[in-house]
Structure 1
Amino acid sequence: MGKSKSSAATPSVISDFKEISKMRLSLSVVFSSLAGYLLGVDTVDFQTLILLAFGGYFMVGASNAFNQIIEKDLDALMSRTQNRPIPSGRMSVNTAFVIASIFTLLGIMVLYSINKQTAMFGAISIFLYTCVYTPLKTKTPLAVFVGAIPGAIPFMLGWVAATNDFGIEPGTLFALQFFWQFPHFWAIGWFLYDDYKKAGFFMLPTGKQDRGTAVQTIMYTIWTMLVSIIPVFGFTGKLQLSIAAAVIVFGLGVWMLYYAVRLFKLMTVKAARQLMIVSVSYISLLQIVYVLDKFIR
């Protein structure tokens, strides 16, 4: 009897650990930073690649754990989050705080072992996400603007890890992921509108599921498309894109724009959910095209 109890408890401890660090989100962030690294290097150093993957994971895991400690009472109000480890009572705030603190220290130490600038940007992203974005979510839709900064750091962070330099190239990668986050976030804010409302979160630019929000979503999708092809014009230093790759990247942008326009036309939760799914595929495919283009050229 005791044996079956312990084996039943194990998956829940593992799943709670995954949940507190938001494993799927963290892995997508790691993917971004590794793509940025591959774009920045001349020769791939696998040790740095592994350090970046772990450092990036710890960094995002820390931000998510701190976020869930701060929002524990609000998470309890929303059906999407009420079963998270802290609001459900499966994990104490102290345990979560220990995990978050260890992740912060490990993240910054691992990134510091790559170079100082990488560690600095990692620390900035944890600070902005935890101390600025999280408290602003219940105050103003501008929280999305603040949240887009730490969200855009990973792609750029990879380049900085590769080159120990911050210039036009990582700046362009940052801008691309920064603009992309608005249609992505607002699509989530739209289809989770009622749930967010319970906790008093204001995620949509107008505060409502209206034409104004849909128009801004289209606008930022277009900005993302424009930034995504800047490297083809040859003035972003070592960050370059072939004409073929630029056409593919622009095509991916048109695909995402189609769903943003569709949201404007239909104004439905389903259309917002589809835009969110497409936006996630878009950024991953774009990063793959950028990296493949560099190594094939």
Structure 2
Amino acid sequence: MAVTTSVNITSDFKEITKMRLAVSVVFSSVAGYFLGANVIDFVTVLLLAIGGYLMVGASNAYNQVIERDLDALMNRTKNRPIPSGRMSVTRALIIASIFTVLGVAVLYFINPITAMFGAISIVLYVAVYTPLKTKTPLSVFIGAFPGAIPFMLGWVAATNDFSIEPGTLFMIQFFWQFPHFWALGWWLYDDYERGGFFMLPTGKRDTGTAVQIILYTIWTIIISLVPVTGQTGSLYLTPVSGVLIFLLGLLMLRYAILLYKRRDEKTARQLMFASVTYITLLQIIYVLDKFIRAWI
């Protein structure tokens, strides 16, 4: 019985902090750090990973407190800890508050700018993005700001500076989020509608939304290739790596075009997973490109 209870508590903790999402954010931050650091300090990497997880976990816990009644209406969220009754609002708020304080403290130990951007991401996500989700499709635009911070946060943690390099990393992840979340919004449209969320740019699964997904996918590819031109300071990408990223972009664009043609949930789901593959492999290619150049 005690083992079962322990498993349930661990499972609820993972759910309230959205562990899989938090890990992906930490991955982005660490990739940004490797890109910005001249010498890898693994203590800083560990602090960045811990601080990043705490900040994302706090944002997600606050989000689930605010949206608990709406989560109860949707199939994919009704079994979350709070709407299911397994966790009280008070306990979730305590977790969120502790994570916020510890997260800011850990990131501040790296440098103040990193802590500042981490705090900004929580405020934007919880106080601006979350309330707007039920009011306007522009919520995705607002949500793209905190969502784009992790990749560039790693660079800031490595350099204690914000300039064109982390700005470029920010823009890559900023534009990428539109096709990613709109594909998710298309796929889970009925569920989001039950919760009263506006996740698509036109509010519908129509031509306007499909066209915008294609356009933002193209913008994502273009921004991702800008470092090949050598105009982004010390953030540089070789033409070979540029070709690889371009091919990855074409795969994502293929699904975006197919969604325009088919307008079905299956293709939207495929586009969503293609977008996750794109940003993950892009970050790996960027990091490998830097270190391969250093070794040659």
Structure 2 residue corresponding to 1:254, chosen from 238, 250, 254: 250
Correspondences of 1:1-297 after superposition (within 5 Å): 5-297=1-293
Report the Cα offset of residue 8 of structure 1: 1.1
TM-score by length of 2: 0.99
Aligned equivalents of 1:8, 1:169: Cα separation in 2: 48
Unaligned runs of 5+ in 2: none
Q: State the SS of the aligned residue for 1:202.
A: coil
Instruction: Give the letter aligned to residue 244 of structure 1.
Output: V
Aligned equivalents of 2:43, 2:115: Cα separation in 1: 16
Q: State the SS of the aligned residue for 2:197.
A: coil
Aligned equivalents of 2:4, 2:105: Cα separation in 1: 35
CA distances 1:101-132 after superposition (whole Å, capped 9, x unpaired) = 00001110000000000000000000000000
Aligned equivalents of 2:3, 2:229: Cα separation in 1: 57
Aligned equivalents of 2:246, 2:109: Cα separation in 1: 37
TM-score by length of 1: 0.98
Instruction: Give the letter aligned to residue 116 of structure 2.
Output: M
Between the two proteins, what is the percent identity of the paired residues? 69
Aligned equivalents of 1:255, 1:165: Cα separation in 2: 34
Report the Cα offset of residue 181 of structure 1: 0.1
Q: State the SS of the aligned residue for 1:240.
A: coil
Report the Cα offset of residue 67 of structure 1: 0.1
Q: State the SS of the aligned residue for 1:60.
A: helix
CA distances 1:165-194 after superposition (whole Å, capped 9, x unpaired) = 000000000000000000000001001100
Report the Cα offset of residue 293 of structure 1: 0.1
Instruction: Give the letter aligned to residue 172 of structure 2.
Output: L
Report the Cα offset of residue 295 of structure 1: 0.1
Q: State the SS of the aligned residue for 1:296.
A: helix
CA distances 1:43-94 after superposition (whole Å, capped 9, x unpaired) = 1000000000000000000000000000000000001100000000000000
Aligned equivalents of 2:4, 2:96: Cα separation in 1: 25
Q: State the SS of the aligned residue for 1:229.
A: helix
CA distances 1:131-188 after superposition (whole Å, capped 9, x unpaired) = 0000000000000000000000000000000000000000000000000000000001
Q: State the SS of the aligned residue for 1:109.
A: helix
Aligned equivalents of 1:97, 1:281: Cα separation in 2: 33
Instruction: Give the letter aligned to residue 38 of structure 2.
Output: D
Q: State the SS of the aligned residue for 2:211.
A: helix
Aligned equivalents of 1:209, 1:10: Cα separation in 2: 42
Aligned equivalents of 2:277, 2:228: Cα separation in 1: 22
Instruction: Give the letter aligned to residue 14 of structure 2.
Output: K
Report the Cα offset of residue 9 of structure 1: 1.1
Instruction: Give the letter aligned to residue 287 of structure 1.
Output: Q
Instruction: Give the letter aligned to residue 56 of structure 2.
Output: V
Report the Cα offset of residue 217 of structure 1: 0.3
CA distances 1:221-240 after superposition (whole Å, capped 9, x unpaired) = 00000000100111100100
Unaligned runs of 5+ in 1: none
Aligned equivalents of 1:254, 1:168: Cα separation in 2: 26
